Amino acid sequence: MTRSLDSLTEVARDFDAIVLDQWGVLHDGTRPYPGAVQAVERLKALTRLAVLSNSGKRADVNLDRIAAKGFAPDLFDVVMTSGEALWLDLTRQGKALSLYAIEGHPGDAAVWAKGLDITLVDDPTTADAILLMGLPENAETAAYMAILNATGALPVYCTNPDRASPRAGGVTVTSPGALAHTHAEAGGRVIFYGKPHTAVFRAVADALGAVPERLLMVGDSFEHDIAGGHGAGWSTAFVEGGLHTARFANADRMETVQTLAQEAAAPPPNFTLRSLS
């Protein structure tokens, strides 16, 4: 049974840490949601906090991005991203790779690759693998799908499994996961890093030194946050005012939560709340 909350402070002391998604929970990609900064400050007084984001960038870059939106860096005990998880994995493997990068902004991949034995190439046919870490805003995805299709034999490291991301004004944009899933369904080899895959949840739990039963995942995606948290053995809280904002307009909240869970083939969340504020 999903319990409706006015605020996460109602249950914060029941957990050793609360793990927050970034887009759709803390901010809309442009600015923090109203009251979100103050909500995080109140939660920090009650328990430890972490951020777990399907971002292709490194954790320190995302912490800087969060701080630029008004969240003090010391509010979070751990920041983990899917890009960080891949970077750590490649560090452990210690092998040289040539990668063709699909990135949100020119230079993102170069920043991400620092410290690794990685060569970034301009021609995908000369690469060992494709790094799918981001898409430019309002990108025409057909061109990027053509690249993936033309290099179908190469593995694709997808460090943002999200199919869509929320933006200001209730707008959603296509995210790299949409391309990666389409490519995988067509027979391409895709290696996903990030939610809902259990490894990234385990990495956060290890960094926090907490057992799954004492962790709460807070997010706006049933496919990634709710299903992923449930699969890792965590409790989950769904934020209605993110990716699915439009679905809650003039609709019964609990019925909509149940419908969204069914559509995503995800378990219902333990908790639901309108926003983090």
pLDDT at residue 151, as a whole number: 87
Q: Could you read off the pLDDT of 231-245 as tens digits, one per residue? A: 999 999 999 998 898
- For the beta carbon of residue 68, count every other beta carbon within 10 angstroms: 9
pLDDT score of 168 more than 80: no
pLDDT at residue 130, as a whole number: 97
Sheet architecture: strand order including 235-239: 3-4, 271-273, 235-239, 215-219, 17-20, 48-53, 78-81
CB 34 within 8 A of CB 277: yes
pLDDT at residue 153, as a whole number: 87
pLDDT score of 173 more than 80: no
pLDDT score of 172 more than 80: no
Percent of the chain at pLDDT exceeding 90: 84
What are the C-alpha distances in Å from 113 to residues 64, 206, 208, 227, 271?
Answer: 17, 24, 25, 30, 38
Tokens of 4: 């409706």
Q: Could you read off the pLDDT of 196-225 as tens digits, one per residue? A: 999 899 989 999 999 999 999 999 999 999
pLDDT score of 272 more than 90: yes
CB 108 within 8 A of CB 133: yes
Model confidence at 163, in pLDDT bands (50, 70, 90)? confident
Q: What is the mean pLDDT of the chain?
A: 94
Q: Could you read off the pLDDT of 47-67 as tens digits, one per residue? A: 999 999 999 999 999 999 999
Model confidence at 30, in pLDDT bands (50, 70, 90)? confident
Model confidence at 152, in pLDDT bands (50, 70, 90)? confident
Which residue would you say has higher pLDDT here, 167 or 53? Answer: 53
Average pLDDT over residues 72-97: 95
pLDDT score of 125 more than 80: yes
- Separation CA 102–CA 123 (nearest Å): 12
